[in-house]
């Protein structure tokens, strides 16, 4: 176990940060996630890795750079040895950035203006993201043939990452192709050195298997900056043997869970609809939040909490706005998309606060935007990452100034993640002795 954090990560969105933290924990690093850049520079963090969660993916590039540099300075104050800039495994960015501008700014700060060398690698084979000859694949499709082509904010119409990255960075971009990667870490390191000698500043790296992530990870030892999706994180812990999970140790051990249990769900994705249905079919109590009742001025927060309080002692309860798409569209037609979303998010986050005030200390939140609203309302500053419930969704233990004497266990589930029995499975996992 290391005395201070060795790896400092900057994630360009919130659920991506949790995904990265989850992989770091799986690879054996004790990991803490902060929401934004912490105000207290002096507070030493007891972990192997720190993930600073930003919401910088679609900001104007100058703001994304400013926030990322602030995160860098704070991570440096923690004494980390390596910086990891984490973006989406579908390389979500516009023609201008923000992956290129943030990478340039971090390299300038770490290695001098126009100097230095780093990689680009969004590969995560376990989640069907692979890079071959510099081209990013989503399952069997090129990125540019996948659904990302139609993304409303960051449409990805070119799968050639060398070309995409070259349009965003001032540094020359090169490629470490699969014929090198398959030879292992020594060959990859040699290729890094050769590219750097040619003046390349950013190298796209092919990877199609988990074993490739491990070889690349080894070759990244002592590189000041790594830029990648969450997959490459799996190969980094081996570079700090003191942090890697030894047999029988558990990087993901959280404080013991206690208190009452609840689920708050604002996601309307297919997976969440199935999870809500499954939970109700298991006979657990559930309260449906009606967006039109909120808009009509009913005190839905008070109604939901009055319903929940007498039930909580008997087991987990669910409070949900989750609905099938026809119902959601009907609400949106009446209230407008933005207003419907905002009303539901405000209501669910106030309900979450009321539940914690009523003794809930194990809370599952479903929905990306919903999670953001709840985390803000709860005043969450830090999250310790615990065991994985399903890929991409770990339990976390949370510190909040609002409840300084309580440990709150929080699981934030992005819409399409998780099996149908996710809610019940989540609470069962927390009851198991760690």
Residues interacting with ligand ADP, by CB under 6 A? 266-269, 272, 291, 321, 323, 328, 331-332, 340-341, 344-345, 367-370, 414-415
- Between 115 and 419, CB nearer to ligand ADP: 419
The secondary structure of residue 304, as a DSSP letter, is H
- Between 221 and 293, CB nearer to ligand ADP: 293
Give the nearest distance from C-beta 372 to ligand ADP in angstroms. 8
Other CB atoms closer than 10 Å to residue 284's CB: what's the count? Answer: 19
Asked if residue 98 has a cis previous peptide bond (ω within 30° of 0), the answer is yes
Give the nearest distance from C-beta 138 to ligand ADP in angstroms. 18
Half-sphere exposure of 98 (CA within 13 A, CB side): 27
* Structural tokens at position 226: 């790594």
- Between 130 and 414, CB nearer to ligand ADP: 414
- Between 180 and 269, CB nearer to ligand ADP: 269
Give the nearest distance from C-beta 102 to ligand ADP in angstroms. 24
Collect all residues with Cβ–Cβ distance below 8 Å to 254 and sequence separation of at least 6: 384, 386, 387, 395, 396, 397, 409, 434
Q: What is the dihedral of CA 230, 235, 236, 238, to 10 degrees?
A: 150
* Structural tokens at position 369: 């935007």
Question: 121, 136, 133, 120: which is closest to 202 by C-alpha?
Answer: 120
Give the nearest distance from C-beta 179 to ligand ADP in angstroms. 39
- Between 226 and 321, CB nearer to ligand ADP: 321
Q: In what order do the strands lie in the sheet with 141-142?
A: 129-132, 135-138, 141-142
Give the nearest distance from C-beta 367 to ligand ADP in angstroms. 2
Half-sphere exposure of 164 (CA within 13 A, CB side): 25
Give the nearest distance from C-beta 146 to ligand ADP in angstroms. 18
**CA gap 310, 306 in Å, rounded:** 8
Give the nearest distance from C-beta 232 to ligand ADP in angstroms. 25
Residue, CB closest to ligand ADP: 415
**CA gap 201, 211 in Å, rounded:** 25
- Between 226 and 343, CB nearer to ligand ADP: 343
- Between 31 and 272, CB nearer to ligand ADP: 272
């Amino acid at each position: 176990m290391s005395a201070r954090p060795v790896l400092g990560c900057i994630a360009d969105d919130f659920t991506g940060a949790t995904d990265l933290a989850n992989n770091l924990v799986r690879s054996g690093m004790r990991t803490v996630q902060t929401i934004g850049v912490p105000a207290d520079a002096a507070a030493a963090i007891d972990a192997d890795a720190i993930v600073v969660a930003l919401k910088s993916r679609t900001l104007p590039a100058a703001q994304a750079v400013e926030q990322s540099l602030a995160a860098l300075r704070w991570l440096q104050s923690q004494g980390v040895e390596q910086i990891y800039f984490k973006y989406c495994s579908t390389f979500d960015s516009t023609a201008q950035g923000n992956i290129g501008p943030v990478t340039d700014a971090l390299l300038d700060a770490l290695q001098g203006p126009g100097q230095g060398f780093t990689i680009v690698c969004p590969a995560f084979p376990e989640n069907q993201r692979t890079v071959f000859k510099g081209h990013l694949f989503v399952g069997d499709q090129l990125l540019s043939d996948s659904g990302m082509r139609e993304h409303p904010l960051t449409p990805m119409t070119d799968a050639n990452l060398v070309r995409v990255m070259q349009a965003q960075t001032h540094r020359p971009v090169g490629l470490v192709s699969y014929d090198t990667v398959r030879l292992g870490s020594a060959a990859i390191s040699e290729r890094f050195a050769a590219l750097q000698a040619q003046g390349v500043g950013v190298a796209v790296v092919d990877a199609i298997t988990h074993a490739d992530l491990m070889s690349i990870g080894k070759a990244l030892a002592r590189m000041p900056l790594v830029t990648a999706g969450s997959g490459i994180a799996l190969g980094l812990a081996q570079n700090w043997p003191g942090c890697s999970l030894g047999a029988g140790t558990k990087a993901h051990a959280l404080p013991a869970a206690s208190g009452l249990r609840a689920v708050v769900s604002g996601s309307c994705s297919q997976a969440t609809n199935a999870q809500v249905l499954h939970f109700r079919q298991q006979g657990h109590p559930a309260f449906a939040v009606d967006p039109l009742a909120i808009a009509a001025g009913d005190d839905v927060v008070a109604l939901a909490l009055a319903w929940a309080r007498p039930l909580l002692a008997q087991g987990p309860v669910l409070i949900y706005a989750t609905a099938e798409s026809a119902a959601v569209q009907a609400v949106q037609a009446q209230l407008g998309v933005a207003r419907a979303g905002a009303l539901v998010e405000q209501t669910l986050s106030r309900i979450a606060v009321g539940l914690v005030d009523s003794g809930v200390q194990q809370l599952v939140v479903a929905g990306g935007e919903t999670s953001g609203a709840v985390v803000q309302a709860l005043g969450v500053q830090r999250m310790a990452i615990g065991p994985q419930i399903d890929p991409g969704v770990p339990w976390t233990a949370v510190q909040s100034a609002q409840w300084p004497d309580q440990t709150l266990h929080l699981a934030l589930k992005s819409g399409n993640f998780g099996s149908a029995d996710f809610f019940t499975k989540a609470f069962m996992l927390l009851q198991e002795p760690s």
